[in-house]
Amino acid sequence: MFITFEGIDGSGKSTQILLLREYLVKNGHKVVTLREPGGTELSEYIRAVLLNKKLEVSDISELLLFQAARADLVKTIVLPSLDQGRIVLSDRFFDSTTAYQGYGRGIDMEIIEKSNQIGSLGVLPDMTFYLNIERSVGIDRDKEKDRDRMELSGDEFYDRVIHGYDELAKNESRFITIDGNQDVKTIHALVVAEVEKLINK
């Protein structure tokens, strides 16, 4: 089973993944948690390039780097883990590319979709949680952090990314939108309820 978490930076995805992992392990499941980009030696190198604010990266180069990192992660970890019957939880997957590089950077959607198929090796999440917050909340939660190259893309960019996620949530039946302004425990309970439904299907 493959479950992904999406939302803008600072939406609380990583906290929810940790809590869900804890819950699933307690209930006897074998769980693998990942973050994108990253998770393999090659993908971590690519992550460092993508987030390095000293580098100028063109939009298409950025897209291809995210897909290169993804392809390595899927081949090395996601597919083998799913074959072994593990539950894979990922902090971001190709919906991030649709939201950030498609809606955010404005790359043609046909290119985005084709590249998503290539980068994911055709793997599709069973369920995707979208933690929906306003841009100001995400930025506020992250204010202590030194901003990386993506986070320096500006308010209008983030508004387009949020619009992109909202569109995905409308159009993709695997999307479950959760109001990310609620407290951590409330969100966790909502996530667990949906995951239990999926497990018992």
Where does this chain bind ligand TMP (CB under 6 A)? 9, 35-37, 66, 92, 96-97, 100-101, 150-151
Residue 161 Cβ vs ligand TMP, minimum distance, rounded to whole Å: 8
Tokens at residue 135, please? 């841009």
Instruction: Kindly state the smallest distance separating residue 176's Cβ from ligand TMP, in Å.
Output: 19
Distance in Å, CB of 185 to ligand TMP, minimum = 23
**Residue nearest ligand TMP by beta-carbon distance:** 100
Whose structure tokens read 């929906």? 132
User: Cα(77)–Cα(40) distance, rounded to whole angstroms?
Assistant: 8
Give the nearer residue to ligand TMP in terms of CB position, either 44 or 194. 44
- Chain-centre distance of CA 61, in angstroms? 19
Q: Are 126 and 78 in contact (CB under 8 A)?
A: no
| CB closer to ligand TMP, 16 vs 101 | 101
Indicate the residue among 72 and 151 with the shorter CB distance to ligand TMP.
151
Least separation in angstroms between CB 5 and ligand TMP: 10
- Burial class from Cβ neighbours inside 10 Å (0-12, 13-18, 19+) for residue 201 reads exposed
The torsion region of residue 172 among left (phi > 0), alpha (psi -120 to 50) and beta comes to beta
- Comparing CB distances to ligand TMP, the nearer of 59 and 196 is 59
**Residue with smaller CB distance to ligand TMP, 8 or 195:** 8
Q: Helices in 142-183 by DSSP H: which ranges?
A: 155-171
Closest contact distance (angstroms) between CB of 10 and ligand TMP is 9
Is the Cβ–Cβ distance between 123 and 79 less than 8 Å? yes
- Whichever of 161 and 178 has its CB closer to ligand TMP, that residue is 161
Exposure string of 138-155, with b = 16+ CB inside 10 Å and e = fewer, is bbeebeeeeebbbbebee
| Minimum distance, C-beta of residue 66 to ligand TMP, in the bound complex (Å) | 4
